């Protein structure tokens, strides 16, 4: 027996399926996802039967040596790497594309709790495994199983060209919608976590596949309806709170960036969320922002007829809200603060201790810019209807200050992009690409950055070089990670119809992905 080199040390089941194993103890995450007991790991050394090769090598070496000279046992041992504890080679077989898709999706889009207990849909793998292994036939469970299968296959179909995967994804998406409708028609099924999770997963499907009709999501109304139906009880346990966070951010992003109006009771949100938690505190401020800005936005066509008193009231409310946003940023614990460093390219950049912190800061900056832009509009209207030098000076001064602060916020987000998109680490050092040649960043992190970045390039304040950099980064990483929404937003300026995206098969060969 001879030493066969350092092999993969993943668990036996992951190696059988040919998927990446996190090698955690006592069991890996993939096995937990599949609801199977982890079969354990092999030792670092692996041996295979090379007796015949060694014998041939010895004969060849002996025949080439002068007579009377023999290889020492030490020389043979050094040459063969011989060990005393032989293990047979563990033979692995391939896994199905469906299994690969599920593991890829869970690895890229579900995040366990990180800094401050912030994660993203970390409960979905176990919930999916329970629905699958119990062979549940109720509408809520079956709709979740089909939704996860559809979204996983769609995510993989954007990465590799495998015949039939896209069709399977579309087929299961249609079945998931049917089962979701069945669940919504039954009051008991409608309030289940599986039903809400199905809607969450289907919203991801919409963005991964590029199926949005314009900027509006087809699932926002569903999120509002289910959030109201589930009520306060959904915030009483970790799974419900996790889903609520995802849905609420989804809704608020759309309301704020598209200037819509939420029908949720903002006071209810403020009452039940924990303002001491950084993420929940920002969610509260986002809710206040949407509620406050909805009034002037709805009257934007006739602001001149609103009246001086109402305009002044809105301006003061915006100032107070901006002060709350500043207070939020100044009250964060040290671990949440951006780190100023210099990257390996010599550029001044911002890095963060966790990726989720960088994303939350990006949303914070987008909200502040929205508030500033609204105040500038209100000041302009006020100065146009009030012939007062004092009002004119104040409006001009605030417009200058607002532009300066907004440009600083845009600059900070742009300085964060190399870290957020996996180009540099915490210290500004380069992160080498993966074995496939792609960036080492999870798809969910890129997905979460899309709307704040799109707001920066569509608000009209970012300089051309920053706009070009952001659009290029969104398009490139969107292609690498198979997120069609990223490419669509990179090409969209907010006017007219969203651009269509061709099938994303042009890059899988260049990055070394398997093609069938």
Domain ranges of the chain: 2-95, 299-500
The secondary element (H helix, E strand) that includes residue 254 is helix 238-257
The strand pairing partners of 47, in sequence order, are: 3
**Cβ atoms within 10 Å, residue 411:** 17
Instruction: Specify the residue for token string 């093609």.
Output: 515
Cα 360 → chain centroid: 12
Token digits of residue 267: 């006071």
pTM comes to: 0.76
Q: How many CA atoms lie within 13 A of 32 on its CB side?
A: 17
Token digits of residue 495: 């006017």
Q: Determine the number of helices (DSSP H) and then strands (DSSP E) in the chain.
A: 20, 4
Question: Exposed, middle or buried: residue 52 (CB in 10 Å: 0-12, 13-18, 19+)?
Answer: exposed
CA distance 117 to 119: 6
Q: How many CA atoms lie within 13 A of 358 on its CB side?
A: 30
pLDDT of residue 188: 92
3-class SS of residue 225 = helix
CA distance 114 to 117: 5
Q: What tens-digit pLDDT sequence spans the chain (516 residues)?
A: 333 344 457 777 777 666 778 888 778 877 777 667 777 765 443 333 444 443 454 454 444 444 444 344 333 233 323 233 332 222 334 578 888 899 889 988 987 755 444 567 888 888 898 888 766 678 999 999 999 999 999 998 888 877 889 999 999 999 999 999 999 999 999 999 999 999 999 999 999 998 887 777 888 888 888 888 888 777 777 788 888 888 888 888 888 877 766 777 767 777 778 888 898 899 899 888 888 888 888 776 676 677 888 888 999 999 999 999 999 999 999 999 999 999 999 999 999 998 989 999 999 999 999 999 988 888 888 888 888 888 888 888 888 888 899 999 999 999 999 999 988 999 999 988 776 666 778 899 999 999 999 999 888 899 999 999 999 999 988 888 889 999 989 987 666 555 555 444 333 333 333 333
Residue 138: name the closest of 81, 174, 90, 186 by CA: 186
**Cβ atoms within 10 Å, residue 344:** 14
Return left, alpha or beta for 213; rule: phi > 0 is left, psi -120 to 50 is alpha, else beta: beta
φ and ψ at 277, to 5 degrees? -80, 125
Residue 1: name the closest of 92, 84, 72 by CA: 84
pLDDT of residue 41: 63
CB 450 within 8 A of CB 489: yes
pLDDT of residue 177: 94
Q: Which long-range contacts (CB under 8 A, 24 or more apart) does 506-513 make?
A: 507/479, 507/480, 508/159, 508/160, 508/161, 510/437, 511/436, 511/437, 511/438, 511/480, 512/435, 512/436, 512/437, 513/159, 513/160, 513/436
CB 476 within 8 A of CB 491: no
* 3-state SS track over 145-179: HHHHHHHHHHHHHCCCCCCCHHHHHHHHHHHHHHH
The strand pairing partners of 342, in sequence order, are: 348
CB 21 within 8 A of CB 98: no
CA distance 343 to 347: 5
pLDDT of residue 90: 27
CB 102 within 8 A of CB 19: no
CA distance 100 to 108: 12
The strand pairing partners of 216, in sequence order, are: 213
CA distance 77 to 187: 72
Q: Which long-range contacts (CB under 8 A, 24 or more apart) does 130-135 make?
A: 130/35, 131/194, 132/35, 133/35
């Amino acid at each position: 027996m001879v030493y066969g080199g350092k092999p993969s040390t993943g668990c036996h089941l992951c190696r059988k399926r040919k998927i990446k194993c996190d090698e955690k103890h006592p069991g890996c995450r993939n096995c937990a996802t599949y609801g199977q007991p982890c079969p354990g790991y092999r030792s670092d050394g692996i041996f295979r039967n090379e007796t015949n090769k060694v014998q041939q090598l010895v004969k060849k070496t002996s025949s080439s040596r002068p007579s009377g000279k023999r290889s020492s046992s030490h020389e043979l041992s050094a040459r063969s790497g011989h060990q005393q504890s032989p293990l047979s080679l563990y033979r692995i077989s391939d896994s199905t594309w469906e299994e690969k898709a599920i593991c890829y999706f869970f690895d890229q889009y579900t995040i366990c709790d990180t800094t401050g207990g912030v994660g993203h849909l970390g409960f979905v793998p176990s919930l999916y495994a329970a629905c699958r292994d119990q062979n549940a036939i109720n509408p809520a469970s079956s709709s979740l199983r089909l939704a996860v299968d559809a979204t996983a296959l769609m995510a993989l179909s954007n990465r590799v060209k495998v015949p039939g995967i896209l069709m399977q994804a579309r087929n299961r998406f249609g079945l998931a919608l049917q089962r979701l409708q069945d669940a919504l028609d039954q009051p008991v099924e409608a309030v289940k976590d599986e039903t809400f999770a199905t809607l969450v997963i289907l919203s991801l499907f919409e963005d991964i596949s590029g199926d949005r009709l314009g900027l509006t999501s087809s699932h926002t109304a569903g999120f509002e309806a289910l959030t109201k139906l589930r009520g306060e009880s959904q915030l009483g346990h970790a799974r419900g709170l996790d889903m609520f966070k995802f849905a609420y951010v989804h809704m608020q992003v759309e309301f704020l960036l598209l200037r819509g109006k939420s029908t949720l009771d903002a006071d209810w949100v403020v009452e039940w969320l924990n303002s001491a938690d950084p993420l929940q505190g920002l969610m509260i401020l986002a809710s206040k922002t949407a509620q406050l800005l909805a009034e002037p936005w709805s009257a934007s066509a006739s602001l001149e007829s609103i009246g001086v008193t109402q305009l002044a009231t809105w301006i003061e409310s915006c100032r107070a809200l901006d002060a709350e946003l500043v207070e939020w940023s100044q009250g964060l614990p040290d671990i949440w603060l951006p780190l100023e460093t210099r990257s390996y390219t010599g550029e001044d950049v911002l890095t963060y201790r966790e990726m989720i912190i960088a994303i939350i800061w990006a949303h914070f900056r987008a909200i502040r810019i929205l508030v500033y832009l609204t105040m500038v509009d209100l000041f302009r209207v006020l100065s146009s209807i009030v012939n007062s030098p004092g009002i004119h000076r104040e409006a001009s001064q605030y417009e200058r200050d607002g532009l300066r602060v907004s440009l600083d916020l845009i600059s900070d987000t742009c300085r964060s992009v190399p870290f957020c998109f996996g180009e540099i680490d915490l210290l500004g050092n380069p992160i080498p690409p993966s074995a496939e040649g792609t960036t080492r960043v999870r798809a969910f992190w890129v997905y979460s950055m899309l709307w704040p970045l799109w707001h920066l390039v569509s608000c009209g304040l970012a300089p051309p070089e920053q706009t070009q950099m952001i659009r290029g980064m969104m398009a490139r990483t969107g292609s690498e990670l198979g997120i069609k929404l990223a490419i669509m937003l990179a090409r969209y300026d907010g006017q007219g119809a969203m651009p269509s995206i061709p099938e994303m098969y042009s890059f899988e060969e260049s990055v070394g992905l398997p093609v069938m």
